[in-house]
Amino acid sequence: MKNAKGDLQKQHGQHQIRSHKSDSKKYQGKILLSIDIGQHTTKLVLGRAVKPTVIEVKRAVSFRTPRSSVGNGRILDLNGLSQKISSVIREQKLQAAHVFCTMENAEIITREIVLPTANETEMKNMLQFEVQQYMPVDLENYIIQSKILDSVEDNGTKKTRFLATAVPKDLAQSYYDLMQKVNLKAAVLDIQSNSTSKLALAEIAVSASPLVPKDGAVAIVDFGYSHINIVLIEDGKYQFNRYIGQGAANIDRSLISVFEYSEEEIERKKAEDIDLSISLPLSEASSQDPDQASLREANIVKDAIDNWSDELERVFKYYTSRSKGKTVQKIFVHGGASQVKGFSGYLSKVAGMPVEQVQRLKCVQVQDNAVKNITPYLNAIGAFIRR
C-alpha cells in the first residue's frame, strides 16, 4: 500500500525509510473509493481528484461500524467488518478501480526532523540516522515514511523540515487484509491527521478567500468517538498534530450511567435533542421534568467539552512555546461530536476564541444532494489528495 506522511506501503525485509513522492498524476481523474474506518462510524466517499487540489464527491454514505469490530484504530473483527463494508458497497453501488483507507491509532509515531539542506542522497542518509535516534521503538516492527514539509533559514543556514511517521507493520497489514477480503484493490492507507492537513492546504491553494486563512495559526480538530486529533496550520503550512485518547465515547458512557439509555436513544439524543445553548437553571426538585432531563443531558456533554478544552489549551501552549509567542487564532471542528447542537458556540465560550464547524470547502465539489455538509467525511475526502 502506498504512502504520504502516513500512507503506507506494504514492505518486507529490512527496515528502511521511504521518502514520499507525489503520485497525484497516477490517480488524478480516476473514480476512487475512500473509506474512513472509525470505531463508531465508517464513512465511504466515491469521488475523484479533478485537479491535484480539487476534489469531486459523487457519493458519500456512512454506517454504524459493527460493534467491537474496531477498537482504537485496530481492526478486531476482520470478517464482520468486511461483510458490512461489502454489503454497503454493493447496495450503494460504490464501484471504483482503487480504494483508499484512512485511520488513526495511538501507536503511530510522528516526529519532525530538521536537517541542513543538501542533495537528496545526503539528506536521505542523514534522515536514516536521525530517525533511529528520534523514534523510541524497535524500528524493525514499523513502516517508516518521511515527507518534506518545507524549507527554512536558521541563522543564515538553509534547512529542510521533514515529517517522519512510523506505523506498526501489523496495523498496516490488517487494513491491507481487510481490503483484500472485500475484493477491493488497495492503493493507499492514509493517516487521518495527514488527510485533514492536505485538505486544509488544498483549500488555501484554490481560493482567494479560503475558509482556512493563509495567514496566522489555526487548529483543525477532529472530535471523533475514541480520540481527538488536532492539526496545527500556521501561515498555510502544516506544523504538527496531536492525538488525544478521549472522544465521544466518554459522553455515551456518562449518558448510559445517568439515564440508562440504549445505544439508539443516545444516537437520537445527540443528533436531535441535546442543545448546548440552553441555559435554564437546573433544579433538583424537578428531576423528573423533561426540561430538567434535557439540561442534565446538555451538562454531560458540556463537562466533556470542558475536559477537551483543557487538552486543547495544553497543545496550544506548546505551540506558542515553540513558535516565538504566536498564538492559535481560530479552531475549525469536524467529527461526530461536533455535530451536537450548540457545540461550536459552547467550545468557543470555554476556549476563548472563534470556533467554526467545517461544513463546506471551496476545494470540494459535492454532487451528492443527500450530503448537507461534509463534516463527517473530511478524513475520507482528504485522502483523495496525493502529495
- Tens digits of per-residue pLDDT, 45-90? 999 999 999 999 999 999 999 999 999 889 999 999 999 999 999 9
Same domain (yes/no): 197, 115: yes
Beta-bridge partners for 365: 56
Same domain, 107 and 187: yes
Task: Report the phi/psi class of residue 296: left, alpha or beta, with left for phi > 0 and alpha for psi in -120 to 50.
Answer: alpha
Which residue has better confidence, 185 or 37?
Answer: 37
Considering the domain architecture, whether residues 202 and 299 belong to the same structural domain is answered as no
pLDDT for 1: 43
Residues 26 and 170 in one domain: yes
pLDDT band at 7 (very low <50, low <70, confident <90, very high): very low
Least confident of 109-123, 237-251, 269-283: 269-283
The model's confidence at residue 18, banded by pLDDT at 50, 70 and 90, is low
Predicted pLDDT of residue 11: 41
| Whether residue 185 has pLDDT greater than 70 | yes
| Same domain for 252 and 199 | no
Average pLDDT over residues 262-286: 80
Q: How many CB atoms lie within 10 A of CB 175?
A: 22
**For residue 93, what is the DSSP state?**
T
Note whether 139 and 162 are within 8 A (CB): no
Residue 332 has pLDDT above 70, yes or no: yes
Nearest to 96 by CA among 50, 30, 49, 42: 30
Mean pLDDT of the chain: 89
List of residues 6+ apart from 139 with CB closer than 8 A:
15, 131, 132, 166
Same domain, 21 and 139: yes
Q: What is the pLDDT, as a whole number, of residue 285?
A: 43
Contacts of 38 (CB under 8 A, 6+ apart): 65, 70, 224, 225, 226, 336
Q: What is the largest CA-CA distance in the chain?
A: 74
- Interval 124-142 mean pLDDT: 87
Domain range for 315 is: 248-355
Judged against a pLDDT cut of 50, whether residue 101 lies above it is answered with yes
Percent of the chain with pLDDT over 90: 70
CATH of the domain at 52: 3.30.420.380
- Where do the H-state alpha helices sit in the chain? 24-27, 78-92, 120-134, 169-181, 192-206, 248-259, 263-268, 290-322, 343-351, 378-382
- Same domain membership, residue 92 and residue 57: yes
pLDDT-derived band at 298, boundaries 50, 70, 90: very high
**In the predicted model, is pLDDT for residue 5 greater than 80?**
no
57 lies in the same domain as 183: yes
Residue 35: the pLDDT is: 97
Interatomic CA distance for residues 32 and 47, integer angstroms: 6
Is the domain of 138 the same as that of 264?
no
> Which band of pLDDT confidence, cut at 50, 70 and 90, is reported for residue 15?
very low
111 and 160 in a single domain? The answer is: yes
Is residue 226, in this structure, part of any structural domain at all? no
pTM of the model: 0.90
Q: Is residue 70 part of a domain?
A: yes
Residue 243 domain-assigned (yes or no): no
CA 336 to chain centre: 12
Instruction: Report DSSP letters for 176-233, one per residue.
Output: HHHHHHTT--EEEEEEHHHHHHHHHHHHHHH-SS-SS-SSSEEEEEEE-SS-EEEEEE
Look at residues 276, 257, 292, 291 and name the one whose alpha carbon lies nearest to residue 344: 276
Q: Region 151-172: what's the mean pLDDT?
A: 90
Residue 237 lies in a domain: no
The answer, yes or no, to whether residue 3 has pLDDT greater than 50, is no
pLDDT at 6: 40
Whether 152 has a pLDDT exceeding 60, the answer reads yes
Q: How many domains does the chain have?
A: 2
Residue-level pLDDT at 137: 81
Q: Are residues 323 and 363 in the same domain?
A: no
Residue 274 above 60 pLDDT? yes
CATH of the domain at 327: 3.30.420
What pLDDT does residue 22 have?
A: 58
Contact (Cβ atoms closer than 8 angstroms) between residue 11 and residue 143: yes
Nearest alpha carbon to residue 332 among 202, 197, 235: 197
Span 302-319, average pLDDT: 97
